[in-house]
Structure 1
């Protein structure tokens, strides 16, 4: 029924509703700069009016309203934009991971610097050329030994730096896996809290924001798929290249839920049971990311291994070709006459097992440069310079240098035609479709530069796309201080108006109660 008390109740409800709306506005303003926060809105609706059809209702002109109430406090969020942003996060994370380490690999090769491998290769052949024209000078022999040692030192350094980078990449992947597992545990906990709040009939807006932020971060690490469940729950899963799905988070049950595991030795990522603490874990499932930082870093590991193999191929082509002409033999010997040797045990293995990491100039030659063979005969004292010239001319010989020369263990392994030797000067002919030693290294540097530039270009493109999507999401979910201040003034006026009604009703009641006593 209507009356002053009914009017009072309507005003009180209005006061309460406006106060709630002011609280929501205050919360929005307070979190204007909070990462991942979605602005919230108080939705108001009329309360149940008087005059609903019943046996006892008096007939009147119409239903009398009973006021207003806040029906819900919802966050403003576009799920489709979330999906697009997470997909773009994965692509950006992949290319950022590649660019980060490829740029470091490019710096390691340092192919255009005065002390880089490219320059030193040229200086080595120049020194042999100078030796061929002045074989009688001890200084020219010394320069050959020094320049060659500088080249092997640079190859050693480059190889070791690549190995260090590969180790750094390994460590980053390991830390990423730790971080991912921690975030998955947080999402799991938030999932359960959200469900409990939803079951209680409330909206866990801030909890859902925290979960969404974690899912955004996870999408940068690897490709995630999200299935929405009842009461705000979510299932998170990964899908392999064959389309098989594995659950990382479940809303209703942890049965079969997995976590990531990284084996540094095999450099493989596996999925293991969530609570498996065994090292190594039981029954791991091999998993290869299809996007995200993990994919980028794992690709870079392969890239670094490839460049190490190319550097090994370069070292072998230098060592085997120079040694063959210097020794006058198409086959390896015990290392006594080898110019380039394996530093790990040169006295017994000579050049066997030589890599960019262990190649060096024979210590016997470093100690006594007269051991350098410069003439056509076997006697190192010969000074006609023809052998030194033949080595200098290796600069222009094209070798069939594979990117991975693990299977090449002999001087003839590159497929070049070798003639002469022992009693006559050995010569190496160019191979069809081959590459010079200097050209091969230049190609390594150029390929790396192209690969790095492509990663950089792709990163920039994805950054632009992601920025556009983030801007769209901010325009929907972000807090506009101007808009919130306008809402605050609106709610303030409504609050004041409801307070005025209460004050007016109070005066009327005072008039009725106290006025009747007079």
Structure 2
């Protein structure tokens, strides 16, 4: 009921309300520069008014109010902007990673420079042109052997650098997997705590800020889907998968993690053919610091699919597991149990069903770069094989097999068919004695016979089916017959194939491909950075703390507090009149 004491209580509630509003404002100002903090606002509502007239209370005009209260402390956040930020962050993470590694690849190719493959290839053909002009001496042959060795060594070094980039990308992938699992554990704990506090009727705003900050950071690694549940809880999944990485109702059975695949070995028989067995080593949850986390298993697949399955695992480097590190398929079904450090698969053909493929984010960029580098290695191998096989074909044509000397050999001791960019080398016999280079029709040819040297120099302009090496062409005897040799007097010249390519043009295409991809990715990074900055500005305008606005609120709440205090002071004077004045 109304009265002086009723008015006193109204003013008291006003003071308490403004005090809490001041607390919220103070909290905002204290966290102006706190990363991930969202501006909070005290939602002020009226308290329950006096009841309608009844037998127990008198009739009064309307419902008299009883003051104000803080209904809740709201967190100012726009879920749609959050979604845009995370999508943009994932895309930027992928392109940033790709650009970084593509820049490294451009550095490895080192073009155009004096020490690049393209220039060395030009010097190689020039040296053979000089040999054709000076067939009688050893100097030109020594130079040709040295230039050839420099070219082969640079191909070796380039291949090794490519392998190092793959190794680096794998190590970064392992680190990313560890970070993802760590963030998922933190998000899961925060999620459970938020739900408990929400059930108690409170608003855990600061905890939700911490969870959202982790979700933003996680989106940099891979694209995520968030499903909101009751009591401010969430279910979290990787985009494209139905497996829960975080679940509101967490029973540790339906929650999944990622593990890092460290090595893959395709087993071969004595003849070098696939046996259908693949030995895989992975580390549970990406933790390589503890040897107990190392797990090995053997997968049995169709012989024809062994290489394909191995490639998919290698390109991804990540598999789905449960929280214990045991692999599961994309539906969450267990694929086997770990005994000691060995994984026993329920179905030996099922591990490929556990492969994780990120759609966006740093993990996606790392996976795509691994595949790209492998493609460039394959292209470099084709170039090395084309060079070695064509030069060897000319250098040995018409020579008795017992007296043939290959110009390029496999320095690892393998066969000529197995020559690639990693092992191509000039024959050590030729390095020791350059006079073993045959420049004419045979080693007893006269000084004026330069037919072989001219033919090797002529490879500069020869159109060779380099692009078919590794698919339809797997040996020198497969490469040369497609082109064939010319007829007298140029019987050592390899014929042009109109569907083929020049060796230097083939390499320039590789360099151009890297350059185009690098520029394209750079443009994407630039564009996405701008787009994301605009979205983040929108986010800050909604959720960020404005010091000017908070100072305005501070003055407003201060005046309201003082006004309510003045009401109490006035009630005090009136009560004095009622209590003490009536005595007189």
Query: Same-fold call, TM > 0.5?
Result: yes
Deviations 1:308-349 (A, max 9, x none): 010011111111111111122699x7896111111112xxx4
Q: Which runs of 5+ in 2 are unaligned?
A: 264-312, 327-337, 346-350
Counterpart CA distance in 2 for 1:508 and 1:53 is 27
Distance of aligned partners of 1:154 and 1:491 in 2 relative to their CA distance in 1, 3 Å threshold? same
1:386 Cα deviation from its structure 2 partner: 2.3
The equivalent of 1:247 in structure 2 is 244
Deviations 1:174-196 (A, max 9, x none): 11111111111111111111101
* TM-score, normalised via structure 1 length: 0.92
1:73 Cα deviation from its structure 2 partner: 0.3
Counterpart CA distance in 2 for 1:436 and 1:258 is 51
The equivalent of 1:158 in structure 2 is 158
Q: Which runs of 5+ in 1 are unaligned?
A: none
Does residue 294 of structure 1 match 2:359? no
Counterpart CA distance in 2 for 1:315 and 1:3 is 100
Is the Cα–Cα contact under 8 Å of residues 392 and 408 in structure 2 kept in the other structure? yes
Distance of aligned partners of 1:43 and 1:26 in 2 relative to their CA distance in 1, 3 Å threshold? same
The equivalent of 2:47 in structure 1 is 47
1:286 Cα deviation from its structure 2 partner: 2.2
Aligned-residue CA RMSD (Å): 2.4
Bigger drift between 297-306 and 267-276 goes to: 267-276
Is the Cα–Cα contact under 8 Å of residues 180 and 218 in structure 1 kept in the other structure? yes
Is the Cα–Cα contact under 8 Å of residues 338 and 350 in structure 1 kept in the other structure? no
The equivalent of 1:410 in structure 2 is 475
The equivalent of 1:319 in structure 2 is 388
1:508 Cα deviation from its structure 2 partner: 3.6
Does residue 452 of structure 1 match 2:501? no
The equivalent of 2:267 in structure 1 is none
Distance of aligned partners of 1:330 and 1:138 in 2 relative to their CA distance in 1, 3 Å threshold? closer
1:404 Cα deviation from its structure 2 partner: 6.0
1:245 alignment partner, SS class: coil
Distance of aligned partners of 1:50 and 1:420 in 2 relative to their CA distance in 1, 3 Å threshold? closer
Is the Cα–Cα contact under 8 Å of residues 24 and 41 in structure 1 kept in the other structure? yes
Is the Cα–Cα contact under 8 Å of residues 53 and 59 in structure 2 kept in the other structure? no
1:43 Cα deviation from its structure 2 partner: 0.4
* TM-score, normalised via structure 2 length: 0.82
1:287 alignment partner, SS class: coil
Deviations 1:198-240 (A, max 9, x none): 1010111111111111112222222211111111111111343
Does residue 357 of structure 1 match 2:422? yes
Counterpart CA distance in 1 for 2:97 and 2:570 is 68
Is the Cα–Cα contact under 8 Å of residues 153 and 425 in structure 2 kept in the other structure? yes
Does residue 506 of structure 1 match 2:504? no
Is the Cα–Cα contact under 8 Å of residues 271 and 286 in structure 1 kept in the other structure? yes
The equivalent of 1:219 in structure 2 is 219
Bigger drift between 389-398 and 51-60 goes to: 51-60
Counterpart CA distance in 2 for 1:486 and 1:330 is 96
The equivalent of 2:302 in structure 1 is none
Counterpart CA distance in 1 for 2:445 and 2:58 is 128
Counterpart CA distance in 2 for 1:53 and 1:320 is 106
Deviating beyond 4 angstroms after TM superposition, the runs of 4 or more aligned structure 1 residues are: 277-284, 333-336, 380-383, 510-518
Counterparts of residues 58-137 of structure 1 (less than 5 Å): 58-137=58-137
Is the Cα–Cα contact under 8 Å of residues 376 and 424 in structure 1 kept in the other structure? no
2:485 alignment partner, SS class: strand
Q: 1:488 aligns with which of 546, 554, 560?
A: 554
Counterpart CA distance in 2 for 1:189 and 1:270 is 23
1:8 alignment partner, SS class: helix
Counterpart CA distance in 1 for 2:442 and 2:325 is 69
1:107 Cα deviation from its structure 2 partner: 1.2
1:110 Cα deviation from its structure 2 partner: 1.2
